[in-house]
Structure 1
């Protein structure tokens, strides 16, 4: 195998590598990127929000009247984990949410508690509900002393839940509220910087208008079988309502309204910060709250914000690696390999042509011949010059070589043999 063939094989290999790199870059741009923009299956996080508000003292439920305290410190906690079913298409999130007073110990400060389960499409972050994927469920509340296993109540979800889709757009999304048990619009409002991360800000109003005025509160959908916490009848004295008859029985209905603001990473859809104003209250007129259960405002604390920002950055880095860094690198390397292969192939062709062309040298192999010359006729060809013989060479220096006799016939009259006859001397 000569050098030209080896160069041609190397050129083909390099061009093949370049084509493979370009194909890989195209696949990363189109196919792979769409496969990795999905909600992770390893979510296990705790989100904590701090704030204050007006809240009912749980201990007063067994006293002679309800006690409502103002400006009490509150903390809201969400524990998010992944449950089954979770596969390439869907992920099921189980979210335990609680709101408690930090000035009370253990269960005496617990105001709200809920366990919500929802199955989401991993790509769109929308709730899915079909025969194979339950739309969602909530855990039936238990009393403090109830030790029976928790049971779920089917609750079909719709819209987004606990996160936004990848590549979030500047538009309105339906966002599900598990307390109201329905979806409400989350409207895009603008961009904000959160710990160095550019985020989209969305706002949602449940029962409030854009100015924070109570306009259409939701009747609290009780999770108990007999609506024990949705509608309560107690004496006027128990409600703290003055009147002529303190023993008069008064029935009040529980209502719910909320305002939420989300700061969302537009690339990964992660909610990095959230502010919630929720109002649970009893009233006879829905627009006139009378006894507060919990009217509070909480905001994600700094540690949780930093954790969520880091999680969003990790998702951004992962997407950037597969959607930008690797495709650009493969494209550049592929183009360089193709160009290098073409150049090497061209050089191999020139080398092969040089090896096959005659007259590049004076050998019989035809290698590296010079310019071709016209053939020289035999009559004009140079012959070897013989040394000149001198007449004064002494006869004793050796026998003199004679040329073989000529085959031509002797001239008539010439002697056939014998020594030459002496003739007259020849003038010098």
Structure 2
């Protein structure tokens, strides 16, 4: 195999490689990009927030009067995991949320608990509700002594839940509140730095106005069949109501309001930090709370923020690798390979032509032919000096 054939083979290989790299770059920036911007299927984390608030002492429910304590330490936990159905298009999140008093041991300080399940579109983070995906459900509350398996109550979700979309914009989003069982606006406020990560801050008001004033509380949506915790009737002395017969039964309605702040990574949609002011109370009139069940304000712990920022950065790196780094690298390498292949192919053609017929290339260079024969060299025509022959008489011996 001569040199020209080897050059042609190498040129074809480089041209093929360059074309393949450019096609791969195009696919990465179009099809693969959309598949990479999806909620991971391996989410498994516990988000912890702590703070203080006013809370009912659960033990007092069996006493002579409901005892409500101020400035009690509280902790809120969200245990998030992935359940079925989860596939290439949707992911189902199960989130167990609890609020406890940390000044009481074990379940004695439990104030609130719920298990929310929602199916989300992996690309838009919007709740999915159709014939194949019920959209969501809530686990029916159980007592501590209840040994029966947990049962779910269908609860179609709307808007976003526990995530924001990829490439989050500076606008208003609808975020579902599982306690109120409906979606409310989460309005963009500003940009803020959280542990070195630039985030978008959103605020959601449920029953409060932007200044934190109670304006339109939500009547608590009970999950019990008989609305057992939505309305409670107890003696006036238990409620602590004075000026009436202590034994008079007083019926109060449970209301709920909340104000939340989300710090969101705009690239991945991960909520890296959150703050919540929630108010659960009983009253005869919606805007006049009389007995507080839990009125608290909690903020993500530093360890939770660090882990969420790390998760957001990891998703950013994954997205950046497949949508920017690899497409740019493949494009650059493809162009270099195409140029090198074209140059090598051109050189191979010249080499092939020179080997087949040296007369086809008279431009000089390594494979240029010798000039045409124009006769003897000028030096061959130059006159030369003739040396005289020796004369015979110069040899005396002869």
In structure 2, the partner of 1:308 is 308
State the Cα deviation string for residues 222-262 of structure 1 (Å, max 9, x = none). Answer: 11111111101111111001014111211100000000000
In structure 2, the partner of 1:416 is none
CA contact (8 A) 1:204 1:260 kept: yes
- Give structure 1 stretches of 5+ with no counterpart: 362-366, 377-389, 393-428
Query: Greater CA radius of gyration, 1 or 2?
Result: 1
Runs of 4+ residues deviating >6 angstroms: none
In structure 2, the partner of 1:357 is 358
| Pairs within 5 Å for 1:114-263 | 114-263=114-263
CA contact (8 A) 2:236 2:244 kept: no
Structure 2 Cα separation of the partners of residues 299 and 43 of structure 1:
21
In structure 2, the partner of 1:60 is 60
Structure 1 Cα separation of the partners of residues 73 and 88 of structure 2:
42
Deviates more, 1:344-353 or 1:57-66: 344-353
CA contact (8 A) 1:236 1:248 kept: yes
CA contact (8 A) 1:236 1:243 kept: no
Structure 1 Cα separation of the partners of residues 108 and 5 of structure 2:
87
Structure 2 length as normaliser, TM-score? 0.91
- Give structure 2 stretches of 5+ with no counterpart: 377-389, 393-398
Structure 1 Cα separation of the partners of residues 301 and 96 of structure 2:
18
Quote how far apart the aligned CAs of 1:2 are.
2.4
Structure 1 Cα separation of the partners of residues 331 and 69 of structure 2:
65
State the Cα deviation string for residues 259-295 of structure 1 (Å, max 9, x = none). Answer: 0000000011100000000000000110010100000
Structure 1 length as normaliser, TM-score? 0.85
CA contact (8 A) 1:360 1:371 kept: no
In structure 1, the partner of 2:325 is 325
In structure 2, the partner of 1:97 is 97
CA contact (8 A) 2:114 2:141 kept: yes
Quote how far apart the aligned CAs of 1:357 are.
2.2
Structure 2 Cα separation of the partners of residues 249 and 45 of structure 1:
45
Structure 2 Cα separation of the partners of residues 160 and 370 of structure 1:
80
Structure 1 Cα separation of the partners of residues 314 and 46 of structure 2:
17
CA contact (8 A) 2:207 2:257 kept: yes
Alpha-carbon spacing, 1:321–1:244, altered in 2? closer, same or farther (3 Å): closer
SS at match of 1:303: helix
SS at match of 1:358: helix
Structure 2 Cα separation of the partners of residues 211 and 374 of structure 1:
103
